[in-house]
Structure 1
């Protein structure tokens, strides 16, 4: 059974952004909109992006670094999209922007949340700071570039720093211990931006530097260095946005834990396989899932390909594993899928969350655990993550609720389909909005074997 996935939204956003910064035309082949991406394109149109759909191609006409500044600052988007739009606007430190809402409770709470997000990433000069109205100018200076406990620059901040450096014609360099979500970095390189992106370790040190570090008792670790030089112009190129990794994770999970008819191999076409984003698929493999990349394409500056998932062999189970913060950092979007997989695994699975987000994820982990316990599985919620002891056979479990998280809702939908429940997961509308049509596609995975062409998307 073959399935085409919705395009990866994060990569789609970055591609549309690049289309604005290019001097000239960018053509996207085999194009389809990711959920919400057309609205993001409309916001970029306020900066001067022109786009037009021609059959299966989207043609982008960019303005280069001479893009326009909007009179109203957009802010009603997810965090990473807001930050990209605000970074474009921050090029001009004289433009005055206003964030305003109705002066009722909802309006005040909204402006407070947006203001907190803004101040997390930018320095601003405040002119008016009222409960439902915030008037400011972007400051020309940059906030300090802080790394997380893993030695990385959080990817939303990294994307922002590279974008701001790019549009202001400046220079920046920094090192990280590992990378998470480096799609923007690789896209910049593909479009010809003078950016160095390379690993550094023992081989980059002089003999004196090595001896000095050894004498000081310092451990020589391999790091990733990013260096962006002044960029004068970016020229257009063809590009392709591959399939969504989270959707691929959903298919991999269902094929592994569900009652898939014998001989039904699930093939996913053109999946985004960027290793700093697709960590959950690697975690599934470590647990014993049978996932194989059958076609690997290194094009457009990154990696994508066709993936085949095979059902578990009779008598075999997934194996519980301990996943540290490094592994989870590349799997955060798909954290709930790892938790569902752990419910079926032999032994104990530990999912450790990076320190910086433990507090904000505690509520969502409590909610996820409450749902998973409906299957009878033991789930422990701790400050640093989840501990799950799987069961050999799960026959009960229903009335799942995805809450306000489309990713968690999709993971619980996979669990519900695997348990052959008739009723949908509560708040499945949020899943459908983010991943159009995916639940109906997933249901096809468990149908009886069909003729060769049936079930293709």
Structure 2
């Protein structure tokens, strides 16, 4: 059976920002809106973006670097999306900008959260700070950029740095040990920005430098170098937003642990295979899942393709594995799905999270563990992640609750479907809002299985 995923939401919204910066027309091929992206496009209208759906294409018209800047800045989106909009506004450091909401508890809390996020990424001068109203202007100076425990700049900060340097015609360079979520960097290159993006190691050193480092006993580590030079114009191009990796991972987990007939094959079309984003599929493969990329297309400046999933051979189980912080950094959105897979694994699976997100992840992991323990699996929650000892056969488990996390709700839906539970997972509205229609698609996989069994 073949399935088409919803478009990747992160990449979709980055594409909309890029379309604004194009002085002319951008065409998105085989178009469908990602969850929430139409509202993001509406927000970008205030900056001058226009668009029209024409058949299977979305045609967008941008303003180049001469886009409009609203004085009332939006702050209703997630952190990454808000920061990109605010970065567009930061081009003008003389203009006064405002966050405003209803003067009630909810409005005051929303503005306070926006203020905290703003000052996390920008230097600003506060002009007025009232309940549910915040007036400020951007300063031209940059914050000192701190690298995380993996030696990388956070993806939100990296995207912001590149966008701000681009719209201000500034020079920028930085070096990282690796990269996570580098879609924006590759998109800039594809649309003609003067970006150098390359791995560096032994081959970049002169013979003298190599010998000197060897003599000093220094280890030559490979790093990722990013450089942006002055760019006058962004080139109008066609583009395509591939399918969501989280949804693809949900299909892969269900097809692997859901007792599919041995002749069943699931094919997921046009999945985002960017290696800095699609780490979860690699993790499943390391655990022994039959997940293969059967068609790989390097197009539109990045890579996507078709993924095929087959059931495990008779008598085979997923194998417990240890996944380090740098691996999990490319699969944080799929973390609950990997935890579900680990419940079926033989032996112990360790899912270590990067240091910077441990405080945020700890309560989420506690909540996830409460649900997973209902299957009988042993789940240990620690500051640095989860340790799970799986079962050969899970025969029960119900009353699952996704809480306020769509990703957790999706993972528990996969678990519930694998167990053939009749009871729905609680808070499924959040799953449907972020991954429209995906649970019904997953149910279709099981219907096909049952039909084949009857035949």
Question: Is the TM value for this pair above 0.5?
Answer: yes
Residues 320 and 450 from structure 1, CA distance in 2 versus in 1: closer, same or farther, beyond 3 angstroms?
closer
Cα distance in 2 for partners of 1:211, 1:148 equals 30
Residues 210 and 262 from structure 1, CA distance in 2 versus in 1: closer, same or farther, beyond 3 angstroms?
closer
Cα distance in 2 for partners of 1:448, 1:24 equals 46
Match of 1:81 in 2: 81
Farther-moved stretch of structure 1 (100-109 vs 51-60): 100-109
Deviation at 1:192, TM superposition (A): 1.2
Residues 110 and 211 from structure 1, CA distance in 2 versus in 1: closer, same or farther, beyond 3 angstroms?
same
1:193-208 equivalent positions in 2, closer than 5 A: 193-208=193-208
Say whether 1:273 aligns with 2:273.
yes
Deviation at 1:225, TM superposition (A): 0.4
1:232-311 equivalent positions in 2, closer than 5 A: 232-311=232-311
Match of 1:130 in 2: 130
Cα distance in 1 for partners of 2:191, 2:90 equals 23
Deviation at 1:215, TM superposition (A): 4.2
Match of 1:46 in 2: 46
- Kept in 2, the 8 Å contact 1:259–1:446? The answer is no
- Kept in 2, the 8 Å contact 1:173–1:227? The answer is yes
Cα distance in 2 for partners of 1:100, 1:50 equals 25
Farther-moved stretch of structure 1 (40-49 vs 254-263): 254-263
Say whether 1:410 aligns with 2:438.
no
Unmatched tracts of structure 1, length 5 or more:
453-457
1:74-113 equivalent positions in 2, closer than 5 A: 74-113=74-113
Match of 2:421 in 1: 421
Match of 2:322 in 1: 322
- Kept in 1, the 8 Å contact 2:262–2:313? The answer is no
Cα distance in 1 for partners of 2:255, 2:291 equals 10
- Kept in 2, the 8 Å contact 1:261–1:448? The answer is no
Unmatched tracts of structure 2, length 5 or more:
none
Match of 1:349 in 2: 349
Residues 252 and 12 from structure 1, CA distance in 2 versus in 1: closer, same or farther, beyond 3 angstroms?
same
Cα distance in 2 for partners of 1:449, 1:151 equals 45
Cα distance in 2 for partners of 1:195, 1:359 equals 34
Deviation at 1:444, TM superposition (A): 1.3
Deviation at 1:103, TM superposition (A): 3.3
Count of residues paired in the alignment: 452
Match of 1:339 in 2: 339
- Kept in 2, the 8 Å contact 1:261–1:446? The answer is no
Cα distance in 2 for partners of 1:176, 1:128 equals 38
- Kept in 1, the 8 Å contact 2:260–2:449? The answer is no
Match of 1:455 in 2: none
Match of 2:224 in 1: 224
Deviation at 1:360, TM superposition (A): 1.0
TM-score scaled by structure 2?
0.97
- Kept in 2, the 8 Å contact 1:31–1:58? The answer is yes
Residues 67 and 235 from structure 1, CA distance in 2 versus in 1: closer, same or farther, beyond 3 angstroms?
same
Cα distance in 2 for partners of 1:432, 1:450 equals 24
Residues 369-398 of structure 1: per-residue CA shift (max 9 Å, x gap):
111011111100001000000000101101
Deviation at 1:450, TM superposition (A): 8.8
CA RMSD of aligned residues (A): 1.3
- Kept in 2, the 8 Å contact 1:287–1:321? The answer is yes
Match of 1:62 in 2: 62
Cα distance in 2 for partners of 1:259, 1:96 equals 59
Cα distance in 2 for partners of 1:60, 1:39 equals 15
Deviation at 1:259, TM superposition (A): 2.0
Cα distance in 1 for partners of 2:429, 2:262 equals 32
